[in-house]
């Protein structure tokens, strides 16, 4: 069922962690403004990562940040709530709201400012922040499957929609390669 404000969605199978990493590596250049297929796009964008414990939200975020060019240790923000990085004038914010309890924390920690900057923002457990958060450009929902994980990517803005449209042909190619019998 399509959520309110959803423009388009794609569902795919991530059969092991390498697929999660590959998906992140496809999206990273689009948000960094370095994907030649999205030449006119301004850098920055917000992705919400949803899914039960251990479904791969941090795996995705780490692979994304690595593909964006972040070097050194990429820590999970589960305790600090926020880990931030900067690379050639672009800010990256990786947040995890699992332990977030009180919307006042939001204001105290200055998170509102993060969303106003032109920045790349990845948020795990966005639902824990209640309605403090505006809708993302893209929401990625991960769930356990018989093999690996199922992922659903839903665009909530025109920017997110342009990422999905850019991503779709390469996803079809990789699905055709992995699963030649799948015609639908």
Ligand X SMILES: Nc1ncnc2c1ncn2[C@@H]1O[C@H](COP(=O)(O)OP(=O)(O)OP(=O)(O)O)[C@@H](O)[C@H]1O
* Footprint on this chain of ligand X (rule: CB under 6 A): 14, 16-17, 19-20, 51, 53-59, 78, 124, 148-149
Strand order in the sheet with 90-96: 8-14, 149-155, 138-144, 45-50, 119-124, 90-96, 82-87
CB of 40 to ligand X, least distance (A): 32
Tokens of 81: 């709530």
Site for Mg ion in 54-83 (CB under 5 A): 57-58
Which of 64, 111 has the CB closer to ligand X?
A: 64
Distance CA 49, CA 69 (A): 20
Distance CA 42, CA 34 (A): 10
Label the pairing between strands 90-96 and 119-124: parallel
Which of Mg ion, ligand X, none does residue 26 bind to, with CB < 5 to 8 Å depending on kind? none
Distance CA 90, CA 105 (A): 25
Which of 83, 124 has the CB closer to ligand X?
A: 124
Site string for Mg ion, 19-58 (x = CB under 5 A): --------------------------------------xx
CB of 79 to ligand X, least distance (A): 11
């Amino acid at each position: 069922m399509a959520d309110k404000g959803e423009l388009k969605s794609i569902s795919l199978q991530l059969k092991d962690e390498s697929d999660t990493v590959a998906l992140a590596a496809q999206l990273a250049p689009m948000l960094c403004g370095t994907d030649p297929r999205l030449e006119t796009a301004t850098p920055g964008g917000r992705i919400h990562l949803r899914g039960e414990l251990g479904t791969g939200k941090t795996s995705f975020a780490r692979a994304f940040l690595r593909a964006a060019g972040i070097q050194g240790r990429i820590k999970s923000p589960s305790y600090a709530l926020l880990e931030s990085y900067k690379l050639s004038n672009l800010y990256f914010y990786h947040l995890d709201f699992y332990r977030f309890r009180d919307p006042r924390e939001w204001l105290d920690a200055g998170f509102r400012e993060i969303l106003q900057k032109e920045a790349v923002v990845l948020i795990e457990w966005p639902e824990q922040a209640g309605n403090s958060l505006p809708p993302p450009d893209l929401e990625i929902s991960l769930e356990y499957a018989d093999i690996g994980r199922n992922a659903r990517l839903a665009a909530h803005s025109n920017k997110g929609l342009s990422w999905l449209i850019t991503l779709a042909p390469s996803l079809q190619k990789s699905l055709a390669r992995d699963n030649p019998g799948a015609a639908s």
